[in-house]
Amino acid sequence: MADLTLDGVRKSFGETPVLQALDLAVPDGGFCVVVGPSGCGKSTLLRLVAGLETADAGRILIGGRDVTRLPPKARSAAMVFQNYALLPHLSVARNIAFGMEIRGTPRADIAARVADTARILRLEAQLDRKPRQLSGGQRQRVAMGRAIVRDPQVFLFDEPLSNLDAQLRAEMRAEIKALHARLGATALYVTHDQIEAMTMGDILVVLNGGRVEQIGPPEEIYRRPASTFVARFIGAPPMNLIPSTTAGSLAAGAPARGETLGIRPEHLKLAPGAGVEATARRIEPHGADTFIQATTAEGVDLTIRLPAGNGVRAGDQLPLLAPPAHLHHFGADGRRIA
Amino acid sequence: MTFAAPASAPTSATAAAPVSATPGVWPRLDRVLMSAGAWMLGLLWIAPLLYAAWTAFHPSAYETRFDLLAPLSLENFPLAWKQAPFARYFLNTVILVTSILSVQLVVGTLAAFAFARLRFAGRGILFGLVLVQMMVMPDILLVENYRTMRMLGLVDTIAAIGLPYMASGFGIFLLRQTFMTIPRELDEAARIEGVSLLGLIWRVYVPLAKPTYLAFGLVSVSAHWNDFIWPLIVTNSVSSRPLTVGLSIFASPDSGVQWSVINAATLMTSAPLLIGFLLFQRQFVQSFMRAGIK
Ligand SMILES: Nc1ncnc2c1ncn2[C@@H]1O[C@H](COP(=O)(O)OP(=O)(O)OP(=O)(O)O)[C@@H](O)[C@H]1O
Ligand SMILES: [Mg+2]
């Protein structure tokens, strides 16, 4: 049906390479989330799939059809933009109908499709309003409405929730997921939000400087990050990375491997009489959990995540131990070792 | 503003009253002078219009005599209307300004879009040339334009009056600046929906630049409604003459027409613009603010 495949796609703007030989396969109906730091080429990737930019090399296939050189309208890809991109002079109904009007869809069909879409997105009461008379969440839903009336094979989302407040974002996350389950179209979703990355996708792609660092299911990426970059980028607070030479007895009992040891804050244990001594410097309560910043005698900074009510205060000496089962080992090039 | 202007008198509260009175006077005087100046300028500007209105609505005996109780009269207007082919002049002017404006809008929109959003060889140089047009005083080109119109065989036609102004550098510049402020996301969203290039201009750029179109339209219409020298030179018959030229011929000293009738004609010829402006004043001022013309 409509799987999305990128095969060695490259793109540079002038001298600067933005995407370097990118390979990606999203199965039909899959939800692929792309994360990465600002400027790593996430939007460029989406724009290439949408046809707003042309790839320098490589192929893009939608449902097995090579669309690399096709104009945007021939690609059956709909895009939801970060700033919604609604036409301010048109009502909600006409914004949703915009593409159908251009394609010359009969009036009666347009009306029926708009009504359908408005019902799905709970926008019936707002159909006659202008975008400026809507809340951020409603605007976002109109933008999605414009995408779903096209009945596209691929949905492209470019940080669609980044302009919303935290609570609305949580609601919209659920709404987008529900919509995706209902429509069953393939989705490519760009974000820099940890939670969106972990919760929304079946496949997570971590981009760094125009290269894929790792592709896989979110839990897999969390459990076995392929590089120190992924280890720090996925998970909050980020994984502790410790040069093996200064680890001391923190990882006592584990065979020394690689250049860098990694341990997630929630996996560090308080083990009186074992491990290393560290001084708690800062206590950050986060409700259910508390994040503790501590420094060992070797000068290594560590973050520890403990359940609330643990009684640790700034200045306390903490005996810290990293259980071998939870240790990650990285080589000199930053890649994971076994 | 009161006498205790605090900024200029940072003394203690008790001692302040008599001391701060002196510096406090200045801002007040300043304001008085400013508004007096504004009123003076305003009066000076409107005086000829008031005089024209006064004479037009009174019998000719009151041309140089001011008397509040002078009898009002409307007879100057039909007199003026009968003495010269004003109906034809009106028609000519309306044809002139509408054809100039419509061509300016079409050419300006297409050119502005190209300069704002398309990439092509020589874009910078061409846009520079458009800007140069804004720097050159049209009067310098009178002779050259006349020669061109003669070559085209258009002398003494309405087209000849309008042709030199139909590609307006100012209009292109103004629209380009407006188009460049339109977010690219809107453009891209429309392109993903499959809109053609002309459709994109018509459905996205034009509606979003409406205030600029309104402001430019007003500037263009009033400029060409009132333009005088060029039409005077290039026309010499009733069938092509616009109002301004017709009026000046009507008002020339040797025609022996009374001032009151001339002024009635003057009011008549400028009335459509004045009324139009008063009716749409609010929209125009808003458009000017948004289009950045002041
Ligand atoms: N049209 C362009 N011309 C030149 N350089 C560009 C263009 N578009 C993007 N770039 C560059 O390409 C790089 C990647 O841009 P892109 O917009 O894809 O980043 P991003 O990952 O979406 O970042 P963000 O998270 O900030 O949105 C950036 O360094 C950017 O400066
Ligand atoms: Mg981006």
Question: From first to last of its 294 residues, what are the pLDDT tens digits of chain B?
Answer: 333 334 433 434 444 444 445 556 777 888 999 999 999 999 999 998 888 888 888 887 777 777 777 788 888 899 888 888 999 999 999 999 999 999 999 999 999 999 999 999 999 999 999 999 999 888 889 999 999 999 999 999 999 999 999 999 999 999 999 999 999 999 999 999 999 999 999 999 999 999 999 999 999 999 999 999 999 999 999 999 999 999 998 888 776 778 888 889 999 998 888 888 888 888 878 877 776 654
Residue whose CA is closest, atom 25 of ligand 1?
Answer: A38
In a domain, A337, yes or no: no
Same domain, A258 and A129: no
CATH of the domain at A281: 2.40.50.140
Same domain, A167 and A275: no
Tell me how many domains chain A contains. Answer: 2
More confidently predicted of A247 and A103: A103
In a domain, B125, yes or no: yes
Q: How far is A77 from chain B (nearest CA, A)?
A: 8
Q: Which of A195, A211, A232 is the last residue before a domain boundary?
A: A232
Domain of B35, in residue numbers: 6-56
Q: Which residue of A40, A44, A162 sits with most ligand 1 atoms within 8 Å of its CB, as the best mutation to test the pocket? A: A44
Tokens representing A143 are 């933008």
Q: For residues B172, B176, B177 and B181, what is the CA-based torsion angle, rounded to 10 degrees? A: 160
Same domain, B274 and B132: yes
Q: Which residues make beta-bridge pairs with A11?
A: A19
Return the pLDDT at B188. Answer: 95
Of A73, A88, A89, the CB nearest to B194: A73
Same domain, A91 and A225: yes
Return the pLDDT at B293. Answer: 58
Q: Which of A208, A232, A256 is the last residue before a domain boundary?
A: A232
Same domain, A52 and A99: yes
Residue A336 pLDDT grade (very low, low, confident, very high; cuts 50, 70, 90):
very high
Give the separation between CA B48 and CA A297, rounded to whole angstroms.
92
Q: Which residues of A touch B203 (CB under 8 A)?
A: 87, 98, 102
Residue A27 pLDDT grade (very low, low, confident, very high; cuts 50, 70, 90):
very high
DSSP state of A153: S
Residues whose Cβ atom is located within 5 A of ion ligand 2: A 43
Ligand 1 pocket residue status of A39, Cβ below 6 Å? yes
Which residue in chain A has the smallest CA separation from B187? A85
Q: How far is B193 from chain A (nearest CA, A)?
A: 5
CATH of the domain at B246: 1.10.3720.10
In a domain, A43, yes or no: yes
Q: What is the predicted ipTM?
A: 0.85
Same domain, A193 and A112: yes
Contact B183 A83 (CB under 8 A): yes
Same domain, A219 and A244: no
In a domain, B61, yes or no: no
Give the separation between CA A173 and CA A200, rounded to whole angstroms.
7
In a domain, A291, yes or no: yes
Predicted confidence (pLDDT) per residue in A121-164, tens digit:
999 999 999 999 999 999 999 999 999 998 899 999 999 999 88
In a domain, A124, yes or no: yes
Predicted confidence (pLDDT) per residue in A77-134, tens digit:
999 999 999 999 999 999 999 999 999 999 999 999 999 999 999 999 999 999 999 9
Report the side by side order of strands in the sheet with A289-296: A269-270, A317-321, A276-286, A289-296, A301-307
Query: Nearest ligand, CA of residue A22?
Result: 1
Residue A40 CA: nearest ligand 1 atom is 21
Q: Could you tell me if B138 and B164 are in contact, meaning their C-beta atoms sit under 8 angstroms apart?
A: yes
Return the pLDDT at B76. Answer: 87
Same domain, A168 and A278: no
Residues found in chain A: 338
Same domain, B123 and B23: no
Tell me how many domains chain B contains. Answer: 2
Strands A317-321 vs A269-270: parallel, antiparallel or unpaired = antiparallel
| Chain pair A-B, CB pairs under 8 angstroms | 56
Residue A309 pLDDT grade (very low, low, confident, very high; cuts 50, 70, 90):
confident
Same domain, B267 and B174: yes
Of B185, B195, B208, the CB nearest to A89: B208
Return the pLDDT at B292. Answer: 63
Give the separation between CA A100 and CA A149, rounded to whole angstroms.
8
Give the separation between CA B209 and CA B212, rounded to whole angstroms.
5
Return the pLDDT at B10. Answer: 40
Ligand 1 pocket residue status of A150, Cβ below 6 Å? no
A135 touches chain B (CB under 8 A): no
Same domain, B109 and B163: yes
Predicted confidence (pLDDT) per residue in A201-232, tens digit:
999 999 999 999 999 999 999 999 999 999 99
Strands A77-80 vs A65-66: parallel, antiparallel or unpaired = unpaired
Report the side by side order of strands in the sheet with A57-62: A16-26, A4-13, A57-62, A65-66
Domain of A173, in residue numbers: 4-232
Same domain, B175 and B227: yes
Touching A: B residues 176-205, CB under 8 Å: 183, 185-186, 188-195, 199, 203-204
Return the pLDDT at B18. Answer: 46
Q: Which of A183, A200, A232 is the last residue before a domain boundary?
A: A232
Residue whose CA is closest, atom 28 of ligand 1?
Answer: A39
Of A52, A83, A88, the CB nearest to B191: A52
Residue whose CA is closest, atom 16 of ligand 1?
Answer: A41
Same domain, B47 and B148: no
Return the pLDDT at A1. Answer: 59
- What predicted TM-score, i.e. pTM, was given to this entire model? 0.84
Predicted confidence (pLDDT) per residue in A50-77, tens digit:
999 999 999 999 999 999 999 999 999 9
Contact A79 B207 (CB under 8 A): no
Same domain, B278 and B173: yes
CATH of the domain at A193: 3.40.50.300
Same domain, B107 and B252: yes
Same domain, A209 and A272: no
